[in-house]
Amino acid sequence: YHRMLHRCLAQIQGLFEVSPFDHFSGQGSLGVVAVGCAHAKLLQAMEGRASNLQILGLTSVWPLPERKLTRWLRGLERVLVLEEGGPFVEEGLTALAQRAGLELSISGRHDRVIPEEGELGEEDIATALARLDPAYQPPERAPAPRAMPSKVPLCEDCPYRPTFEALLRAIGRHGGRERHIVVGETGCMVRANLPPFELFDVKYGLGSGLGLALGLALSGTPEHIIALLGDSSFFHSDINALPQAQQLGLPLVVVILDNGTTALTGGQPHPGSPVDELGRPRACTDLAAVIRGYGLEPRLCSPEDVPAMEAAFDEALEAQDLRLIIVRGPCPKYTRQRTA
Ligand code: SF4
């Protein structure tokens, strides 16, 4: 299999060498490799501005299209790599240049020409371009930063709102916040951590909520653990912790907010979504049926029936075993967009 893997990677690399999605522009001895979405940010930062830059918008990074990159690197004196996350392409390019015997300097995250951490902003890119290319004049006024979706409050008509309100009231009836640990999730759910709810005690990456909650319940901590999951995060990887949760049967309340989409990032479908990428209706995976397949019986609630939802939360918080509640309320924002 190892040999087969190498053969497949070589085939994929061959396809990337001729990828029509990579984009070359500009000329000169200064180069910028902008990886994925960084290319769009770079073009925005350069809009209408003079520069002496050769630009490569690179879309495929593993395996790197080495022949194409080596050809492009020849004749360049300095290269700036713009990429999100760590210096992955930057390190690959540095190794490639060394193997090809090219003498050029490669900058990016490792030498902090762009910030070592965090999402790349247009201001970061403009500052880095000004350091690389004397002909480039950064905009005098930094563009207004885009509000991070996770920092935007829940929509007024979001079904999460009555759900969180009901959950907080139920928590209040069962000893208050100090008697509970709420594990949150990524997605629109993360907005539950903004005022007025400020719900989370713990939150990590997408799809980690159930595993984290299970670990906390297993630790024997006296607080009752509540895991708040989204439907997309459940299908992404919370589901992997479900067999173990079923086996252990620890006191744990799992609330899955099923809004039928991946709302925070733009309404992409997941296996439980009733429509596909083009908005066409389709048969979807039934979340409750999946859970039943693990030998668990979820309680189904609607955010429109607040008394029933509160009763379900009360019962779950009084129980000494695993309880699952699915609150099913479609995201109105993407439902509206689909029907418009
Ligand atoms: S986009 Fe949908 S799920 Fe997200 S906050 Fe708005 S209504 Fe709620």
Strands 322-328 and 299-301, bridge-based pairing: parallel
Residue ranges, comma separated, of all CATH 3.40.50.970 domains in the chain are 150-339
The CB of 131 under 6 Å from ligand 1? The reply is no
Average pLDDT, the chain: 93
Q: How many CB atoms lie within 10 A of CB 213?
A: 28
So what's the architecture of 150-339 in CATH? 3-Layer(aba) Sandwich (3.40)
Ligand 1 atom index nearest CA of 153:
5
- CATH number for 16-132 (one of 2.70.170.10, 3.30.70.3270, 3.40.50.920, 3.30.420.40): it is 3.40.50.920
Contact yes or no for 129/32 (Cβ under 8 A): yes
Q: How much is the pLDDT for 108?
A: 95
Give residue-wise pLDDT tens across range 239-272.
999 999 999 999 999 999 999 999 998 899 999 9
Q: How much is the pLDDT for 216?
A: 97
334 band by pLDDT with thresholds 50, 70 and 90: confident
CA distances from 146 to 119, 160, 205 (A): 12, 24, 22
Measured by CA distance, the residue closest to atom 5 of ligand 1 is 154
Q: What is the strand order of the sheet 299-301 is part of? A: 180-183, 224-230, 252-258, 322-328, 299-301
Q: How much is the pLDDT for 191?
A: 93
ipTM field:
0.99
Least confident of 84-98, 113-127, 241-255: 113-127
Residues in Cβ contact with 187 at an 8 Å cutoff, skipping those fewer than 6 apart? 206, 230, 232, 233, 262, 263, 264, 265
The CB of 189 under 6 Å from ligand 1? The reply is no
- State the amino acid at position 174 in one-letter form: H
Q: CA nearest 56: which of 94, 92, 30?
A: 30
Q: How much is the pLDDT for 280?
A: 92
Contact yes or no for 225/231 (Cβ under 8 A): no
Contact yes or no for 324/300 (Cβ under 8 A): no
The CB of 257 under 6 Å from ligand 1? The reply is no
Measured by CA distance, the residue closest to atom 6 of ligand 1 is 155
H/E run at residue 306 = helix 306-318
Mean pLDDT of 266-288: 93
DSSP 102-162: ---EEESTTTTSS-SSS---HHHHHHHHHHH-TT----SSPPPPPPPGGGSPPPTT-THHH
The CB of 194 under 6 Å from ligand 1? The reply is no
Q: Report the largest interatomic distance among the alpha carbons of the chain, rounded to a whole angstrom.
A: 71
The CB of 188 under 6 Å from ligand 1? The reply is yes
Give residue-wise pLDDT tens across range 134-146.
888 887 765 566 6
Q: How much is the pLDDT for 141?
A: 63
Mutate to test the pocket of ligand 1, among 160, 165, 327 (most ligand atoms within 8 A of CB): 160
Q: How much is the pLDDT for 142?
A: 59
Residue ranges, comma separated, of all CATH 3.40.50.920 domains in the chain are 16-132
Measured by CA distance, the residue closest to atom 3 of ligand 1 is 331
CA distances from 134 to 16, 47, 56, 75, 131 (A): 33, 16, 19, 19, 7
Q: How far is the CA of 258 from the centre of ligand 1 (A)?
A: 11
DSSP 2-56: HHHHHHHHHHHHHHHHT-TT-EEEE-SSEEEEEETTHHHHHHHHHTT----EEEE
Mutate to test the pocket of ligand 1, among 190, 264, 333, 337 (most ligand atoms within 8 A of CB): 333
Q: How much is the pLDDT for 193?
A: 93
Q: Residue 31 and residue 79: Cα distance in Å, rounded?
A: 4
Is a pLDDT exceeding 90 seen at residue 50?
no
Q: How much is the pLDDT for 151?
A: 86
Ligand 1 atom index nearest CA of 191:
5
Q: How much is the pLDDT for 148?
A: 77
Q: How much is the pLDDT for 147?
A: 73
Q: What percent of the chain has pLDDT over 70?
A: 97
Q: How far is the CA of 188 from the centre of ligand 1 (A)?
A: 6
- Which residue is it, tokens 């509206």? 336
133 band by pLDDT with thresholds 50, 70 and 90: confident
Give the length of the chain: 340
Measured by CA distance, the residue closest to atom 7 of ligand 1 is 158
How would you label 101-133 residue by residue, b for 16+ Cβ within 10 Å and e otherwise?
Answer: ebebebbbbeeebbeeeeebbbebbbbbbeebb
Q: How much is the pLDDT for 132?
A: 87
Strands 180-183 and 105-107, bridge-based pairing: unpaired
Q: Residue 254 and residue 189: Cα distance in Å, rounded?
A: 14
Mean pLDDT of 279-288: 94
